[in-house]
Amino acid sequence: MRPTLVKSLLIGLIVLPLIGVIPTTWTWNPRLLDTVTTTVLMIAAVTLLNHLVGYAAGKAIAFRTGRLIRLMELLISLPLFLPVLLLSFGLYLTWIRLGLADQFLGVLLVLLLPTLPYTIRIYTNGFQALGEQMMEQMILIQPNRFKRFFFLTGPMMRSSLQSVTLLVTVIALSQYALVALIGGGVVRMIALEAFPLYTGNSLVAAKEATIWLIALPFLIYFVQLMVFSSWVRLVRRLLDGRNDPARNEDIWKEKGVTRD
Amino acid sequence: MWRGNAWPATLLIAGMVVYGLFVSLSMTTWNDYSRLASDAVFLESIGISLYVALSSTVLSVLVGAILADYFARRTGFTEQLLALPLFIPHLGAAYLSILYLSDLPVIGPHEANHLSIILTYLYKEVPFVFFYLLPVYRRLDHRYEELGLMLGLSRMRRFWHGKGVFLLFPVLEAAFIVFAFTLFAYEVPALLGVTYPKMIGVYAFDLYTQGDLSSQPAAFAISVVLTVSLLVVLLTFTRFVRPLTERISKGRAE
Protein backbone atom coordinates (compact mmCIF):
# COMPACT_ATOMS: atom_id res chain seq x y z
CA MET A 1 0.00 0.00 0.00
CA ARG A 2 1.21 3.47 -0.81
CA PRO A 3 1.91 5.61 2.27
CA THR A 4 0.00 8.59 0.87
CA LEU A 5 -3.04 6.42 0.24
CA VAL A 6 -2.98 5.09 3.80
CA LYS A 7 -2.47 8.56 5.19
CA SER A 8 -5.33 10.09 3.24
CA LEU A 9 -7.61 7.16 4.13
CA LEU A 10 -6.83 7.65 7.81
CA ILE A 11 -7.36 11.39 7.63
CA GLY A 12 -10.61 10.97 5.73
CA LEU A 13 -12.08 8.34 8.01
CA ILE A 14 -10.76 9.44 11.39
CA VAL A 15 -9.99 13.14 11.41
CA LEU A 16 -12.58 14.54 9.02
CA PRO A 17 -15.65 13.28 10.93
CA LEU A 18 -14.55 15.45 13.85
CA ILE A 19 -15.24 18.58 11.80
CA GLY A 20 -18.89 18.11 12.65
CA VAL A 21 -18.31 18.91 16.32
CA ILE A 22 -16.46 22.18 15.80
CA PRO A 23 -18.52 24.71 17.77
CA THR A 24 -20.27 27.39 15.75
CA THR A 25 -22.71 28.71 18.32
CA TRP A 26 -22.14 28.38 22.02
CA THR A 27 -24.66 28.76 24.83
CA TRP A 28 -23.26 27.59 28.18
CA ASN A 29 -26.09 25.11 28.79
CA PRO A 30 -26.64 25.45 32.57
CA ARG A 31 -27.79 21.84 32.99
CA LEU A 32 -24.58 20.60 31.41
CA LEU A 33 -22.45 23.03 33.41
CA ASP A 34 -23.92 21.71 36.66
CA THR A 35 -22.74 18.22 35.82
CA VAL A 36 -19.22 19.26 34.89
CA THR A 37 -18.08 19.67 38.52
CA THR A 38 -19.31 16.21 39.51
CA THR A 39 -17.83 14.75 36.35
CA VAL A 40 -14.40 16.25 36.86
CA LEU A 41 -14.36 15.29 40.55
CA MET A 42 -15.44 11.75 39.69
CA ILE A 43 -12.81 11.43 36.97
CA ALA A 44 -10.13 12.76 39.31
CA ALA A 45 -11.11 10.29 42.03
CA VAL A 46 -11.40 7.31 39.68
CA THR A 47 -8.08 8.14 38.02
CA LEU A 48 -6.28 8.54 41.34
CA LEU A 49 -7.63 5.23 42.65
CA ASN A 50 -6.73 3.56 39.37
CA HIS A 51 -3.15 4.81 39.57
CA LEU A 52 -2.72 3.76 43.20
CA VAL A 53 -4.24 0.30 42.92
CA GLY A 54 -3.08 -0.30 39.36
CA TYR A 55 0.55 0.61 39.98
CA ALA A 56 0.91 -1.95 42.77
CA ALA A 57 -1.01 -4.64 40.92
CA GLY A 58 0.74 -4.08 37.59
CA LYS A 59 4.12 -4.32 39.28
CA ALA A 60 3.12 -7.53 41.03
CA ILE A 61 1.90 -9.14 37.81
CA ALA A 62 5.05 -8.08 35.98
CA PHE A 63 7.62 -9.14 38.58
CA ARG A 64 6.09 -11.89 40.70
CA THR A 65 5.98 -15.51 39.68
CA GLY A 66 3.89 -18.44 40.77
CA ARG A 67 0.40 -19.85 40.49
CA LEU A 68 -1.21 -17.37 42.88
CA ILE A 69 -0.30 -14.28 40.87
CA ARG A 70 -1.44 -15.92 37.61
CA LEU A 71 -4.79 -16.65 39.24
CA MET A 72 -4.98 -13.07 40.45
CA GLU A 73 -4.17 -11.84 36.94
CA LEU A 74 -7.08 -13.87 35.59
CA LEU A 75 -9.44 -12.59 38.30
CA ILE A 76 -8.39 -8.98 37.67
CA SER A 77 -9.06 -9.25 33.93
CA LEU A 78 -12.54 -10.74 34.44
CA PRO A 79 -14.44 -7.46 33.91
CA LEU A 80 -12.88 -7.18 30.45
CA PHE A 81 -14.67 -10.34 29.41
CA LEU A 82 -17.84 -10.25 31.49
CA PRO A 83 -20.93 -8.05 31.22
CA VAL A 84 -20.18 -5.41 33.83
CA LEU A 85 -23.55 -3.70 33.38
CA LEU A 86 -25.44 -6.93 34.00
CA LEU A 87 -23.33 -7.66 37.08
CA SER A 88 -24.15 -4.23 38.42
CA PHE A 89 -27.84 -5.24 38.72
CA GLY A 90 -26.83 -7.41 41.64
CA LEU A 91 -24.35 -4.89 42.96
CA TYR A 92 -27.04 -2.22 43.05
CA LEU A 93 -29.08 -4.22 45.58
CA THR A 94 -25.97 -4.67 47.70
CA TRP A 95 -25.13 -0.99 47.45
CA ILE A 96 -28.63 -0.16 48.70
CA ARG A 97 -28.04 -2.38 51.71
CA LEU A 98 -24.63 -0.80 52.36
CA GLY A 99 -25.95 2.73 51.86
CA LEU A 100 -23.72 3.25 48.82
CA ALA A 101 -26.47 3.49 46.21
CA ASP A 102 -27.06 6.98 44.79
CA GLN A 103 -23.79 8.03 46.40
CA PHE A 104 -20.59 9.40 44.90
CA LEU A 105 -18.58 6.61 46.55
CA GLY A 106 -20.88 3.91 45.19
CA VAL A 107 -20.51 5.13 41.62
CA LEU A 108 -16.78 5.55 42.15
CA LEU A 109 -16.41 1.91 43.20
CA VAL A 110 -18.48 0.59 40.31
CA LEU A 111 -16.54 2.70 37.80
CA LEU A 112 -13.43 0.80 38.89
CA LEU A 113 -14.87 -2.33 37.27
CA PRO A 114 -14.61 -1.19 33.63
CA THR A 115 -11.42 0.85 34.16
CA LEU A 116 -9.08 -0.98 36.55
CA PRO A 117 -8.42 -4.03 34.32
CA TYR A 118 -7.16 -1.76 31.53
CA THR A 119 -5.03 0.25 33.97
CA ILE A 120 -3.41 -2.87 35.35
CA ARG A 121 -2.70 -4.18 31.86
CA ILE A 122 -1.00 -0.93 30.88
CA TYR A 123 1.07 -0.88 34.08
CA THR A 124 2.04 -4.53 33.65
CA ASN A 125 3.25 -3.86 30.11
CA GLY A 126 5.10 -0.74 31.27
CA PHE A 127 6.93 -2.58 34.03
CA GLN A 128 7.71 -5.50 31.74
CA ALA A 129 9.17 -3.15 29.16
CA LEU A 130 11.30 -1.52 31.86
CA GLY A 131 12.55 -4.92 33.01
CA GLU A 132 13.64 -6.30 36.33
CA GLN A 133 17.33 -5.52 35.80
CA MET A 134 16.56 -1.87 35.18
CA MET A 135 14.45 -1.77 38.35
CA GLU A 136 17.32 -3.24 40.37
CA GLN A 137 19.76 -0.82 38.80
CA MET A 138 17.55 2.07 39.86
CA ILE A 139 17.51 0.82 43.44
CA LEU A 140 21.30 0.91 43.47
CA ILE A 141 21.28 4.48 42.18
CA GLN A 142 18.58 5.82 44.49
CA PRO A 143 17.61 3.81 47.58
CA ASN A 144 14.84 6.18 48.74
CA ARG A 145 11.67 4.93 47.06
CA PHE A 146 9.94 8.32 46.85
CA LYS A 147 13.00 10.01 45.37
CA ARG A 148 13.39 7.00 43.09
CA PHE A 149 9.87 7.42 41.79
CA PHE A 150 10.37 11.14 41.31
CA PHE A 151 13.71 10.94 39.54
CA LEU A 152 13.61 7.60 37.76
CA THR A 153 10.51 5.41 37.73
CA GLY A 154 8.00 8.20 37.14
CA PRO A 155 9.66 9.82 34.13
CA MET A 156 10.54 6.42 32.67
CA MET A 157 6.96 5.16 32.98
CA ARG A 158 5.61 8.41 31.58
CA SER A 159 3.80 6.91 28.60
CA SER A 160 2.10 4.27 30.75
CA LEU A 161 0.95 6.88 33.25
CA GLN A 162 -0.41 9.06 30.46
CA SER A 163 -2.30 6.24 28.75
CA VAL A 164 -3.88 5.20 32.05
CA THR A 165 -5.25 8.67 32.71
CA LEU A 166 -6.56 8.97 29.16
CA LEU A 167 -8.26 5.57 29.11
CA VAL A 168 -9.82 5.99 32.53
CA THR A 169 -11.14 9.42 31.59
CA VAL A 170 -12.69 8.25 28.35
CA ILE A 171 -14.24 5.09 29.78
CA ALA A 172 -15.63 6.88 32.83
CA LEU A 173 -17.10 9.62 30.66
CA SER A 174 -19.09 7.35 28.40
CA GLN A 175 -20.72 5.24 31.11
CA TYR A 176 -24.36 6.19 30.93
CA ALA A 177 -26.15 3.02 32.03
CA LEU A 178 -23.82 2.23 34.91
CA VAL A 179 -23.91 5.75 36.36
CA ALA A 180 -27.66 6.08 35.82
CA LEU A 181 -28.29 2.80 37.60
CA ILE A 182 -25.89 3.05 40.54
CA GLY A 183 -26.06 6.83 40.88
CA GLY A 184 -29.85 6.70 40.65
CA GLY A 185 -29.92 10.04 38.84
CA VAL A 186 -28.54 11.72 41.95
CA VAL A 187 -24.89 11.50 40.94
CA ARG A 188 -25.08 13.45 37.71
CA MET A 189 -22.25 13.01 35.22
CA ILE A 190 -22.16 14.52 31.73
CA ALA A 191 -23.25 11.27 30.10
CA LEU A 192 -26.53 11.50 32.01
CA GLU A 193 -27.30 14.84 30.39
CA ALA A 194 -25.90 14.00 26.98
CA PHE A 195 -27.71 10.70 26.48
CA PRO A 196 -31.29 12.04 26.53
CA LEU A 197 -30.23 14.95 24.31
CA TYR A 198 -29.19 12.53 21.56
CA THR A 199 -32.64 11.01 21.38
CA GLY A 200 -34.31 14.41 21.56
CA ASN A 201 -34.64 16.76 18.63
CA SER A 202 -32.45 19.68 19.71
CA LEU A 203 -29.36 19.24 17.59
CA VAL A 204 -27.67 22.28 19.11
CA ALA A 205 -27.93 20.96 22.65
CA ALA A 206 -26.74 17.52 21.54
CA LYS A 207 -23.76 19.06 19.83
CA GLU A 208 -22.82 21.08 22.88
CA ALA A 209 -22.96 17.96 25.04
CA THR A 210 -20.74 16.14 22.56
CA ILE A 211 -18.23 18.97 22.60
CA TRP A 212 -17.97 18.61 26.38
CA LEU A 213 -17.61 14.84 26.03
CA ILE A 214 -14.82 15.15 23.48
CA ALA A 215 -13.10 18.24 24.89
CA LEU A 216 -12.74 16.95 28.44
CA PRO A 217 -10.40 14.04 27.59
CA PHE A 218 -8.29 16.35 25.43
CA LEU A 219 -8.21 18.98 28.17
CA ILE A 220 -7.25 16.50 30.86
CA TYR A 221 -4.62 14.97 28.62
CA PHE A 222 -3.20 18.40 27.87
CA VAL A 223 -3.00 19.34 31.55
CA GLN A 224 -1.25 16.06 32.19
CA LEU A 225 1.18 16.73 29.35
CA MET A 226 2.06 20.08 30.94
CA VAL A 227 2.57 18.45 34.33
CA PHE A 228 4.82 15.80 32.87
CA SER A 229 6.95 18.15 30.81
CA SER A 230 7.56 20.40 33.82
CA TRP A 231 8.27 17.33 35.94
CA VAL A 232 10.88 16.14 33.45
CA ARG A 233 12.33 19.64 33.16
CA LEU A 234 12.61 19.83 36.96
CA VAL A 235 14.30 16.44 37.12
CA ARG A 236 16.75 17.51 34.43
CA ARG A 237 17.54 20.72 36.25
CA LEU A 238 18.08 18.91 39.54
CA LEU A 239 20.32 16.33 37.90
CA ASP A 240 22.41 18.55 35.63
CA GLY A 241 25.20 18.70 38.17
CA ARG A 242 24.40 22.08 39.65
CA ASN A 243 23.91 20.44 43.03
CA ASP A 244 26.83 18.09 42.59
CA PRO A 245 29.29 18.76 45.49
CA ALA A 246 32.20 17.99 43.20
CA ARG A 247 31.28 21.01 41.14
CA ASN A 248 30.84 23.26 44.13
CA GLU A 249 32.92 26.38 43.75
CA ASP A 250 34.26 26.32 47.33
CA ILE A 251 35.87 22.96 46.86
CA TRP A 252 37.62 24.11 43.72
CA LYS A 253 38.82 27.27 45.46
CA GLU A 254 40.17 25.22 48.35
CA LYS A 255 42.23 23.26 45.91
CA GLY A 256 43.48 26.45 44.35
CA VAL A 257 41.97 25.68 40.97
CA THR A 258 40.21 28.41 39.05
CA ARG A 259 37.43 27.44 36.70
CA ASP A 260 36.54 29.29 33.62
CA MET B 1 12.89 -4.82 45.60
CA TRP B 2 9.22 -4.31 46.42
CA ARG B 3 7.49 -6.53 43.94
CA GLY B 4 4.14 -4.82 44.02
CA ASN B 5 0.91 -5.98 45.54
CA ALA B 6 -2.04 -7.33 43.61
CA TRP B 7 -4.31 -7.96 46.61
CA PRO B 8 -6.21 -4.64 46.66
CA ALA B 9 -7.01 -4.89 42.97
CA THR B 10 -7.95 -8.55 43.14
CA LEU B 11 -10.16 -8.11 46.19
CA LEU B 12 -11.91 -5.08 44.70
CA ILE B 13 -12.58 -6.61 41.31
CA ALA B 14 -13.19 -10.23 42.24
CA GLY B 15 -15.27 -9.08 45.20
CA MET B 16 -17.58 -6.99 43.05
CA VAL B 17 -17.81 -9.55 40.24
CA VAL B 18 -18.44 -12.55 42.47
CA TYR B 19 -20.82 -10.68 44.76
CA GLY B 20 -22.77 -9.21 41.84
CA LEU B 21 -23.15 -12.67 40.38
CA PHE B 22 -24.09 -14.14 43.77
CA VAL B 23 -26.82 -11.55 44.39
CA SER B 24 -28.23 -12.07 40.89
CA LEU B 25 -28.23 -15.79 41.50
CA SER B 26 -30.01 -15.44 44.84
CA MET B 27 -32.72 -13.27 43.29
CA THR B 28 -33.77 -15.92 40.77
CA THR B 29 -35.49 -19.25 40.96
CA TRP B 30 -35.29 -22.17 38.56
CA ASN B 31 -38.54 -21.04 36.99
CA ASP B 32 -37.00 -17.80 35.74
CA TYR B 33 -34.40 -19.72 33.78
CA SER B 34 -36.85 -22.08 32.15
CA ARG B 35 -39.06 -19.13 31.24
CA LEU B 36 -36.03 -17.38 29.77
CA ALA B 37 -35.19 -20.39 27.61
CA SER B 38 -38.59 -20.17 25.92
CA ASP B 39 -38.66 -16.36 25.73
CA ALA B 40 -38.67 -15.55 22.02
CA VAL B 41 -37.80 -11.88 22.59
CA PHE B 42 -34.74 -12.82 24.63
CA LEU B 43 -33.55 -15.37 22.09
CA GLU B 44 -34.02 -12.95 19.23
CA SER B 45 -32.07 -10.25 21.03
CA ILE B 46 -29.26 -12.74 21.70
CA GLY B 47 -29.22 -13.50 17.99
CA ILE B 48 -29.01 -9.87 16.90
CA SER B 49 -26.37 -9.12 19.57
CA LEU B 50 -24.24 -12.02 18.38
CA TYR B 51 -24.52 -10.76 14.80
CA VAL B 52 -23.46 -7.22 15.73
CA ALA B 53 -20.70 -8.32 18.13
CA LEU B 54 -19.25 -10.94 15.80
CA SER B 55 -19.15 -8.70 12.75
CA SER B 56 -17.70 -5.75 14.70
CA THR B 57 -15.08 -8.00 16.26
CA VAL B 58 -14.01 -9.75 13.07
CA LEU B 59 -13.82 -6.52 11.09
CA SER B 60 -12.03 -4.45 13.72
CA VAL B 61 -9.50 -7.19 14.50
CA LEU B 62 -8.85 -7.71 10.80
CA VAL B 63 -8.39 -4.02 9.98
CA GLY B 64 -6.51 -3.35 13.24
CA ALA B 65 -4.10 -6.22 12.61
CA ILE B 66 -3.46 -5.16 9.01
CA LEU B 67 -2.75 -1.60 10.14
CA ALA B 68 -0.49 -2.83 12.95
CA ASP B 69 1.43 -4.99 10.48
CA TYR B 70 1.75 -2.01 8.15
CA PHE B 71 2.88 0.51 10.78
CA ALA B 72 5.16 -1.93 12.64
CA ARG B 73 7.60 -1.68 9.73
CA ARG B 74 7.78 2.09 9.64
CA THR B 75 7.84 5.00 12.03
CA GLY B 76 6.29 8.36 11.57
CA PHE B 77 3.51 10.64 12.53
CA THR B 78 0.72 8.94 10.60
CA GLU B 79 0.10 6.25 13.17
CA GLN B 80 -0.62 8.94 15.74
CA LEU B 81 -3.77 9.77 13.78
CA LEU B 82 -5.16 6.45 14.93
CA ALA B 83 -4.84 7.62 18.55
CA LEU B 84 -7.50 10.24 17.95
CA PRO B 85 -10.55 7.97 18.41
CA LEU B 86 -9.09 6.86 21.74
CA PHE B 87 -9.87 10.34 23.05
CA ILE B 88 -13.51 10.11 22.04
CA PRO B 89 -15.97 8.42 24.40
CA HIS B 90 -18.37 5.91 22.88
CA LEU B 91 -21.21 8.36 23.40
CA GLY B 92 -19.35 10.93 21.31
CA ALA B 93 -18.78 8.36 18.57
CA ALA B 94 -22.51 7.56 18.63
CA TYR B 95 -23.24 11.26 18.14
CA LEU B 96 -20.94 11.31 15.10
CA SER B 97 -22.99 8.44 13.67
CA ILE B 98 -26.24 10.26 14.30
CA LEU B 99 -24.76 13.36 12.72
CA TYR B 100 -23.44 11.82 9.52
CA LEU B 101 -25.43 8.64 8.91
CA SER B 102 -28.93 9.89 9.75
CA ASP B 103 -29.89 10.80 6.20
CA LEU B 104 -28.28 7.81 4.52
CA PRO B 105 -30.56 4.97 3.44
CA VAL B 106 -29.00 1.59 4.28
CA ILE B 107 -26.39 2.43 6.90
CA GLY B 108 -28.43 5.00 8.82
CA PRO B 109 -29.35 4.63 12.50
CA HIS B 110 -32.48 2.68 13.50
CA GLU B 111 -32.13 0.30 10.55
CA ALA B 112 -32.68 -3.39 11.21
CA ASN B 113 -29.28 -4.29 9.75
CA HIS B 114 -27.54 -2.40 12.58
CA LEU B 115 -24.79 -1.25 10.23
CA SER B 116 -24.55 2.14 11.95
CA ILE B 117 -23.78 0.40 15.25
CA ILE B 118 -21.10 -1.73 13.60
CA LEU B 119 -19.55 1.34 11.95
CA THR B 120 -19.51 3.21 15.27
CA TYR B 121 -17.78 0.28 16.91
CA LEU B 122 -15.26 0.10 14.07
CA TYR B 123 -14.40 3.77 14.59
CA LYS B 124 -13.65 3.06 18.24
CA GLU B 125 -12.32 -0.50 18.21
CA VAL B 126 -9.99 -0.51 15.18
CA PRO B 127 -7.62 1.94 16.97
CA PHE B 128 -7.96 -0.12 20.15
CA VAL B 129 -6.93 -3.31 18.37
CA PHE B 130 -4.21 -1.42 16.52
CA PHE B 131 -2.56 -0.10 19.68
CA TYR B 132 -3.07 -3.45 21.40
CA LEU B 133 -1.26 -5.33 18.64
CA LEU B 134 1.35 -2.76 17.54
CA PRO B 135 3.91 -3.62 20.28
CA VAL B 136 3.39 -7.31 19.53
CA TYR B 137 4.07 -6.75 15.85
CA ARG B 138 7.11 -4.57 16.66
CA ARG B 139 8.56 -7.30 18.88
CA LEU B 140 8.26 -9.97 16.18
CA ASP B 141 11.61 -11.40 15.19
CA HIS B 142 11.90 -11.38 11.40
CA ARG B 143 14.70 -13.95 11.58
CA TYR B 144 12.14 -16.71 12.15
CA GLU B 145 10.59 -16.03 8.77
CA GLU B 146 14.01 -15.82 7.15
CA LEU B 147 14.88 -19.16 8.70
CA GLY B 148 11.66 -20.56 7.25
CA LEU B 149 12.61 -19.16 3.87
CA MET B 150 16.00 -20.81 4.14
CA LEU B 151 14.42 -24.14 5.05
CA GLY B 152 12.13 -23.85 2.06
CA LEU B 153 8.82 -23.69 3.91
CA SER B 154 5.69 -22.69 2.06
CA ARG B 155 4.29 -19.17 2.44
CA MET B 156 1.57 -20.26 4.81
CA ARG B 157 3.83 -22.29 7.07
CA ARG B 158 6.42 -19.53 7.06
CA PHE B 159 3.79 -17.08 8.25
CA TRP B 160 2.53 -19.50 10.88
CA HIS B 161 5.94 -20.32 12.36
CA GLY B 162 7.39 -16.84 11.98
CA LYS B 163 4.46 -14.70 13.03
CA GLY B 164 1.31 -16.70 13.64
CA VAL B 165 2.32 -18.46 16.83
CA PHE B 166 3.38 -15.22 18.45
CA LEU B 167 0.28 -13.37 17.30
CA LEU B 168 -2.28 -16.06 18.10
CA PHE B 169 -2.77 -15.29 21.77
CA PRO B 170 -2.69 -11.47 21.63
CA VAL B 171 -5.05 -11.43 18.65
CA LEU B 172 -7.50 -13.77 20.34
CA GLU B 173 -7.29 -11.73 23.51
CA ALA B 174 -8.00 -8.45 21.71
CA ALA B 175 -10.84 -10.14 19.84
CA PHE B 176 -12.31 -11.45 23.08
CA ILE B 177 -12.20 -8.02 24.72
CA VAL B 178 -13.87 -6.34 21.75
CA PHE B 179 -16.41 -9.15 21.46
CA ALA B 180 -17.44 -9.04 25.12
CA PHE B 181 -17.68 -5.28 25.03
CA THR B 182 -19.75 -5.03 21.87
CA LEU B 183 -21.98 -7.91 22.95
CA PHE B 184 -23.14 -6.27 26.17
CA ALA B 185 -22.70 -2.55 25.63
CA TYR B 186 -25.68 -0.34 26.34
CA GLU B 187 -25.01 3.19 25.15
CA VAL B 188 -24.36 2.80 21.41
CA PRO B 189 -27.16 0.30 20.63
CA ALA B 190 -29.60 2.22 22.80
CA LEU B 191 -29.00 5.32 20.69
CA LEU B 192 -28.64 3.75 17.25
CA GLY B 193 -30.53 0.48 17.48
CA VAL B 194 -34.11 -0.41 16.64
CA THR B 195 -36.89 -0.84 19.19
CA TYR B 196 -37.34 -4.48 18.24
CA PRO B 197 -35.34 -6.65 18.55
CA LYS B 198 -33.23 -4.80 21.11
CA MET B 199 -29.65 -5.78 21.67
CA ILE B 200 -29.13 -7.80 24.82
CA GLY B 201 -27.55 -5.06 26.94
CA VAL B 202 -30.43 -2.70 26.17
CA TYR B 203 -33.05 -5.41 26.64
CA ALA B 204 -31.72 -6.44 30.06
CA PHE B 205 -31.19 -2.88 31.28
CA ASP B 206 -34.67 -1.76 30.21
CA LEU B 207 -36.16 -4.85 31.81
CA TYR B 208 -34.38 -4.01 35.06
CA THR B 209 -35.07 -0.29 35.17
CA GLN B 210 -38.28 0.35 33.24
CA GLY B 211 -40.35 -2.72 33.88
CA ASP B 212 -42.20 -3.32 37.12
CA LEU B 213 -40.68 -5.40 39.89
CA SER B 214 -42.08 -8.64 38.46
CA SER B 215 -39.74 -8.41 35.46
CA GLN B 216 -36.62 -7.92 37.59
CA PRO B 217 -35.98 -11.65 38.15
CA ALA B 218 -35.83 -12.05 34.38
CA ALA B 219 -33.12 -9.36 34.22
CA PHE B 220 -31.19 -11.12 36.99
CA ALA B 221 -31.58 -14.43 35.17
CA ILE B 222 -30.18 -12.89 31.98
CA SER B 223 -27.27 -11.54 34.01
CA VAL B 224 -26.50 -14.96 35.47
CA VAL B 225 -26.90 -16.89 32.22
CA LEU B 226 -24.70 -14.55 30.19
CA THR B 227 -22.03 -14.13 32.87
CA VAL B 228 -21.73 -17.86 33.44
CA SER B 229 -21.64 -18.71 29.74
CA LEU B 230 -18.92 -16.14 29.09
CA LEU B 231 -16.98 -17.46 32.08
CA VAL B 232 -17.16 -20.95 30.58
CA VAL B 233 -15.92 -19.68 27.21
CA LEU B 234 -13.15 -17.73 28.94
CA LEU B 235 -12.00 -20.72 31.00
CA THR B 236 -11.97 -23.01 27.96
CA PHE B 237 -10.04 -20.35 26.10
CA THR B 238 -7.35 -19.95 28.78
CA ARG B 239 -7.16 -23.69 29.46
CA PHE B 240 -6.58 -24.69 25.88
CA VAL B 241 -5.06 -21.77 24.05
CA ARG B 242 -2.57 -20.55 26.64
CA PRO B 243 -0.72 -23.87 27.15
CA LEU B 244 -0.68 -24.26 23.38
CA THR B 245 0.95 -20.89 22.75
CA GLU B 246 3.30 -21.34 25.66
CA ARG B 247 4.43 -24.69 24.30
CA ILE B 248 4.91 -23.31 20.81
CA SER B 249 6.87 -20.26 21.86
CA LYS B 250 8.90 -21.94 24.59
CA GLY B 251 12.57 -21.18 24.40
CA ARG B 252 12.07 -17.87 22.72
CA ALA B 253 14.33 -15.18 24.13
CA GLU B 254 12.27 -12.18 25.11
Distance from CA of B41 to the nearest CA of A (A): 18
| Whole-angstrom distance, CA of residue B123 vs CA of residue B92 | 11
Tell me, yes or no, if B95 comes closer than 8 A to chain A by beta carbon: yes
**C-beta atoms of B92 and A93 within 8 A:** no
What are the boundaries of each domain within chain B?
40-248
Which chain B residue has the Cα nearest residue A115?
B13
Q: Which of B63, B91, B100 to mutate to test the interface with A (most CBs of A within 10 A)?
A: B91
pTM: predicted TM-score of the whole model, two decimal places: 0.90
Where residue B253 falls among pLDDT bands split at 50, 70, 90? very low
**C-beta atoms of A125 and B135 within 8 A:** yes
Chain A residues close to B234, C-beta within 8 Å: 78, 81-82
What is the model's pLDDT at position B254?
A: 38
Whole-complex ipTM: 0.89
Residue stretches of chain A with pLDDT short of 70: 1, 243-260
Tell me the percentage of chain B whose pLDDT exceeds 90. Answer: 56
Candidates 2.30.30.100, 1.10.3720.10, 3.30.56.10, 1.10.490.10; correct CATH number of A28-83+112-172+185-237?
1.10.3720.10
Which chain B residue has the Cα nearest residue A123?
B4
CB burial of B197-230 (b: ≥16 within 10 Å; e: otherwise) equals: bbbbbbbbbbbbeeeeeeebbbbbbbbbbbbeeb
| Whole-angstrom distance, CA of residue B127 vs CA of residue B58 | 14
Tell me, yes or no, if B117 comes closer than 8 A to chain A by beta carbon: no
Does the domain spanning B40-248 belong to CATH 3.60.10.10?
A: no
In this complex, how many residue pairs, one in chain A and one in chain B, have their CB atoms less than 8 Å apart?
248
Mean pLDDT of B81-89: 92
HEC profile of A140-200:
HHCCCHHHHHHHHHHHHCHHHHHHHHHHHHHHHHCCCHHHHHHHCCCCCCHHHHHHHHHHC
Distance from CA of B95 to the nearest CA of A (A): 7
